[in-house]
Chain A
Amino acid sequence: MVTSLRLLHLYPDLLNLYGDRGNIITLKRRCQWRNIELAITEASLGDKVDFANIDLVFMGGGSDREQTLLFQDFKEHKGPALVEATEEGLPLLSVCGGYQLLGQYYKTHDGDEMPGLGLFDAWTEAGESRLIGNVIAQVPMLGGKTTLVGFENHSGRTYLGSSQSTTALAKVLRGHGNNGQDKSEGAVYKNALGTYLHGPILPKNPALADWLLSKALERRFGSSQIDSLPDCWEQKAHQAIIKRFS
C-alpha cells in the first residue's frame, strides 16, 4: 500500500518571498525518498478548502501590499477553518508574514491594530529598522541541542503572550529572532509552527521537516514512524552556517 499525504500551500501566488518555495520542494523530496506520496494542493483568493482532506499546511510571507490583498479572504474564509483544524492537531508551518497573520494582531506605525487569526498567543508591532541576517537557534522540542539555522529579514517585532499554550519554537544563539530582545524565535501551538526564518528553513533543518512529516503521519495513520535519511548535504550546509556565524 502506498502511503500518501496531502499538503496544502496557502496563497502560493501572493505569499512567495525569499525562496520559501524551497520548503515545499524539501517536503516533497523527503517524502519521495521514503516512498510516501505527497500530493500538493494550492489555494488562493476565492478558493474553497476542505481541511478534512489536508494533512499538512504551509504558508509563506509576502510584501505588505500582497498581505493586504489576501487579508480579507483569509480572515473570512480559510482562516477560521484552519484554526479549527490546527486545534485538532493539523501540522502547519507558517513563515514570516504568514506567522504574523496567525497571531492576535499586528500594530502598525500609526498605532492601528489589524486583527489576526489568534492561533498563536502572540502579537506583532511594526519596528523602525529591519532585522536582517543569519540566525542560529536551539530547538528544545527536537531534543537536546538540535540547532536551527536560517536567514531572517523582517521589520515586525513579535512578542509571545503569557498563556502557556504558545511557546517559543527556539532560543536564539545568534541573530534577532522574534523581536531582537527576548532571545525567542518563532512560536509553537500544538502542531502549528510560526517562524521568521527563511533560507528557506526546511532544507538545512531536516529534523524540523521530519518533525512536521511525522506529525502528519501520526495524525493520518496513527504512527509517527519515519525512516531516517542520509542527509549528507543537509548536514554539511547546516554545519557550514554554525561554523561561520556562531
Chain B
Amino acid sequence: MFPSPRLLTALWVGKVAISINRHIGHGGTSLPGMVGRKIAPQVLSTLASQLKKGAIVVTGTNGKTTTSKMIAAIMEKGGLTLTHNRAGANLISGITTAFIHSASAGGQLKSDLGIIEVDEATVPPLTKEVKPRVLVVTNFFRDQLDRFGELDKTVDLVNGAIQKLPPQSTIILNADDPLVASLGAKYTGRVIYYGIESRSYGNREMTQSAETRFCRLCGHSLDYDWYFFGQLGHYRCHHCGFQRPRPHITIGDISLKGEDGSSFYVETQENRWLINLSTPGFYNIYNALAAVAVAWHTKVADQAIRLGLEGYKTNFGRMERLEIGEGRKAFLALIKNPTGCDEVIRTITQNEGPKRLLIMIQDNAADGRDISWLWDADFESLEKVASQLQSLTTSGLRGEDMALRLTYAGLPVQQIEHKANIDEAIRSTIKATKTGETLYILPTYTALLAAKTTLTRLGYSSKYWEE
C-alpha cells in the first residue's frame, strides 16, 4: 500500500505534536489527532484498515477504560501487538492520536489488533471510520447529562450505530443491564451476552440510586427478582415478554476480599476459568467478565486469559493503590456518576480500619457542568463508618457543595473541612494519614488530573500518559 502524501503529512505533523506534548510534560492526547484529521480526514480509517486482526471497540458509561485495559492485558499475554487509546482519550481525536502514534513514519500500522475505548456519543462517527470486529457495551448509567439531555438519546445513538455495523461484526452485551440487552433484541448479527447468574451478592430489593427500570421496547415497568446495583439484575417485562437474555458467559463462586480484590470463576458451557483479580470492587468483576467474553470469542488461549487478568493492576484512578509509606495506605478512585460512586462508597465501607476521606468535586466541561448527581449517590452509607473517619475533607471548585451533601448525609458537620486548593488538600491529607490508616481520595475527572500532577511531584504516582 502506498500512502498518499497528504496522509503522510498528517502522520508526521501528528507525530511531532505527540512528541512536543510529551516533551513539555502534559498528557494532552487529543490535539495531535485533531491536527492530523484536519490535514487528512481519512487518516484514522486508513490506518485502522491495516489491523490484521481487526478492532475491538468498548463503550458504555462505566467500566470502559478498565474493560479495555483488561482486554489489552490478556491480548498482550496472547502475544499480540496492540494499538490502544490507553490514556482514556475516548473521543475521535484522541483515538486518532493513538493510531498516529502507533503507525510507522511510512504510514504502515504494524499492530495486530486495535483496542478502542470510545465515549457512547462517539460510537456512530467512530464505527463509520473503524469497522469493529467486536463491539462491547458495558452499561448505561446517567453520566454528565448536560452533554446529551437524556440517557434515552444515548442509548438510541448507540443502537443506531449498531444497526449499521457490517454483518460479520459481533456485539458483546451485558445481559444484566436491560438498557444494554435491549440493543441485542434488534440486532441481526451475532450477539454474545455476559451476565452474573450467582446470587451470592446483590439484593432482592432495590437499595441504591434509582436508574431507569422501564422496558425500552414497550415502556412498561420491569419486574426484578434480583438486583446487583443500579438497574443491573435479573428482570423481565410482563407486558411485551422482553427479558434478561440467558448469558453465554457467566460467573460463579464469587468471593470478595475487600481491598485485596476478588476471586471467581468465569464459565461458558464448555470452559471454566478461575480468576484472581487484585482490583477491588464488585463492578470490576463485570469488567473482567466482559474482557473474558472478548477473549473467549476471539479464541485467545486460556493461559493468556488467566495471566492477563492476574497481572492486571488497577489503572488510572480506578481504585488505584498509592504507596505513601510503610503501614499507610491510600487509594485514588474516580467518581463521576451515582452508580459508580455508590460502588466506591461500598468498597470504602467494607474496610473496617481507621480511615480518612478526601472528596474533590469540580464542574469543568470534562466533569459535567451539572453536579446534581451528588444527591443521587448514597453518601448516607458513610454514616455506618462515621466512627472510623479520622477526617473528612472536601476540595475543588464545588467542594462546598460536597461539604453540604455530607452534612445532609448525616455526617458530623464540625468534622467536615473544605480546602479549596486541590494541591494543598492532597498534601495535607497525606501528611495527616498515620500508620494503620487508609486514605481514600475521590476526585471527579479534572480533579483527578490535578491530583495526578500533585502525586507525581510527591513521587507517589506514575505519569498517567505513560501507563
Q: A residues bordering B, Cβ < 8 Å?
A: 12-13, 16-22, 25-26, 29, 45, 63-66, 69, 130, 132-134, 151, 153, 155, 198-200, 203-204, 232-234, 236-237, 240, 244
When C-beta atoms are compared, the residue in chain A nearest to B210 turns out to be: A16
Q: C-beta contact mask, B219-234 vs A, less than 8 Å → 1, else 0?
A: 1010000000000000
Q: Say yes or no: B145 contacts A17, CB within 8 Å.
A: yes
Contacts of A237 in B (CB 8 A): 400-401, 403-404
What is the bound-complex CA distance between A12 and B400, given in angstroms? 27
Kindly provide the distance from the CB of B156 to the nearest chain A CB, expressed in whole angstroms: 11
**Contact A233-B404, Cβ < 8 Å, known A18-B145, A63-B151:** yes
Contacts of B221 in A (CB 8 A): 13, 45
- Asked whether any CB of chain A lies closer than 8 Å to the CB of B369, the reply is yes
14 contacts between A and B (CB under 8 A): A18-B372, A19-B372, A19-B376, A64-B150, A66-B214, A130-B149, A133-B369, A151-B372, A153-B146, A155-B149, A198-B372, A236-B400, A236-B418, A240-B400
Contact of B407 among A20, A199, A233, A240 (CB under 8 A): A233
- Asked whether any CB of chain A lies closer than 8 Å to the CB of B413, the reply is yes
**CB-CB nearest 9 A-B residue pairs:** A22-B375, A19-B372, A19-B375, A237-B400, A233-B404, A18-B372, A63-B150, A237-B404, A236-B400
**Contact A25-B375, Cβ < 8 Å, known A151-B370, A153-B149, A236-B418:** yes
Contact of B219 among A18, A69, A240 (CB under 8 A): A69
Contacts of A203 in B (CB 8 A): 375, 404-405, 408
Within 8 A of A (CB), among B366-390: 369-376
Q: Say yes or no: B413 contacts A232, CB within 8 Å.
A: yes
Q: Say yes or no: A13 contacts B213, CB within 8 Å.
A: yes
Contacts of B370 in A (CB 8 A): 18, 132, 151, 153, 198
What is the bound-complex CA distance between A155 and B219, given in angstroms? 23
**Contact A200-B372, Cβ < 8 Å, known A66-B214, A237-B400:** yes
What is the bound-complex CA distance between A66 and B404, given in angstroms? 30
What is the bound-complex CA distance between A130 and B149, given in angstroms? 8
What is the bound-complex CA distance between A13 and B206, given in angstroms? 12
Kindly provide the distance from the CB of B45 to the nearest chain A CB, expressed in whole angstroms: 32
Contact of B408 among A17, A25, A232 (CB under 8 A): A25
**Contact A21-B376, Cβ < 8 Å, known A13-B221, A233-B400, A233-B404:** yes
Contacts of B397 in A (CB 8 A): 244
When C-beta atoms are compared, the residue in chain A nearest to B216 turns out to be: A65
Contacts of B150 in A (CB 8 A): 63-64
What is the bound-complex CA distance between A199 and B413, given in angstroms? 21
When C-beta atoms are compared, the residue in chain B nearest to A153 turns out to be: B146
**Contact A29-B408, Cβ < 8 Å, known A13-B221, A19-B373, A198-B372:** yes
- Asked whether any CB of chain A lies closer than 8 Å to the CB of B323, the reply is no
- Asked whether any CB of chain A lies closer than 8 Å to the CB of B416, the reply is yes
What is the bound-complex CA distance between A106 and B145, given in angstroms? 23
When C-beta atoms are compared, the residue in chain B nearest to A240 turns out to be: B400
Contact of A132 among B146, B210, B219 (CB under 8 A): B146
- Asked whether any CB of chain A lies closer than 8 Å to the CB of B152, the reply is yes
Within 8 A of A (CB), among B329-344: none
Contacts of A199 in B (CB 8 A): 372
**Contact A233-B416, Cβ < 8 Å, known A198-B370, A203-B408, A204-B404:** yes
Q: B residues bordering A, Cβ < 8 Å?
A: 145-146, 149-152, 210, 212-214, 219, 221, 369-376, 397-398, 400-401, 403-405, 407-408, 410, 413, 416, 418
What is the bound-complex CA distance between A114 and B416, given in angstroms? 48
Contacts of A232 in B (CB 8 A): 407, 413
What is the bound-complex CA distance between A217 and B332, given in angstroms? 46
What is the bound-complex CA distance between A8 and B101, given in angstroms? 57
Kindly provide the distance from the CB of A111 to the nearest chain B CB, expressed in whole angstroms: 21
**Contact A65-B219, Cβ < 8 Å, known A198-B370, A237-B400:** yes
Kindly provide the distance from the CB of B178 to the nearest chain A CB, expressed in whole angstroms: 14
Contact of A13 among B145, B152, B210, B398 (CB under 8 A): B210
Q: Say yes or no: B145 contacts A153, CB within 8 Å.
A: yes
Contacts of B405 in A (CB 8 A): 22, 203
Kindly provide the distance from the CB of B378 to the nearest chain A CB, expressed in whole angstroms: 11
- Residue in B221, B376, B398, B404 with the greatest tally of chain A CB atoms within 10 Å: B404
- Residue in A22, A45, A64 with the greatest tally of chain B CB atoms within 10 Å: A22
Kindly provide the distance from the CB of A27 to the nearest chain B CB, expressed in whole angstroms: 10
What is the bound-complex CA distance between A151 and B376, given in angstroms? 15
When C-beta atoms are compared, the residue in chain B nearest to A206 turns out to be: B404
Contacts of B410 in A (CB 8 A): 29
Contacts of A204 in B (CB 8 A): 401, 404
What is the bound-complex CA distance between A72 and B182, given in angstroms? 26
Contacts of A132 in B (CB 8 A): 146, 369-370
When C-beta atoms are compared, the residue in chain B nearest to A32 turns out to be: B410
When C-beta atoms are compared, the residue in chain A nearest to B142 turns out to be: A17
Kindly provide the distance from the CB of A51 to the nearest chain B CB, expressed in whole angstroms: 25
What is the bound-complex CA distance between A115 and B375, given in angstroms? 32
Kindly provide the distance from the CB of B357 to the nearest chain A CB, expressed in whole angstroms: 16
Contacts of B369 in A (CB 8 A): 132-134, 151
- Residue in A20, A133, A134, A240 with the greatest tally of chain B CB atoms within 10 Å: A240
What is the bound-complex CA distance between A61 and B176, given in angstroms? 27
What is the bound-complex CA distance between A21 and B408, given in angstroms? 12
What is the bound-complex CA distance between A228 and B86, given in angstroms? 52
Contacts of B213 in A (CB 8 A): 13
What is the bound-complex CA distance between A237 and B402, given in angstroms? 9
Contact of A22 among B210, B214, B408, B413 (CB under 8 A): B408
Contacts of A63 in B (CB 8 A): 150-152
When C-beta atoms are compared, the residue in chain B nearest to A151 turns out to be: B370
What is the bound-complex CA distance between A155 and B374, given in angstroms? 23
Contacts of B408 in A (CB 8 A): 22, 25-26, 29, 203
When C-beta atoms are compared, the residue in chain A nearest to B151 turns out to be: A63
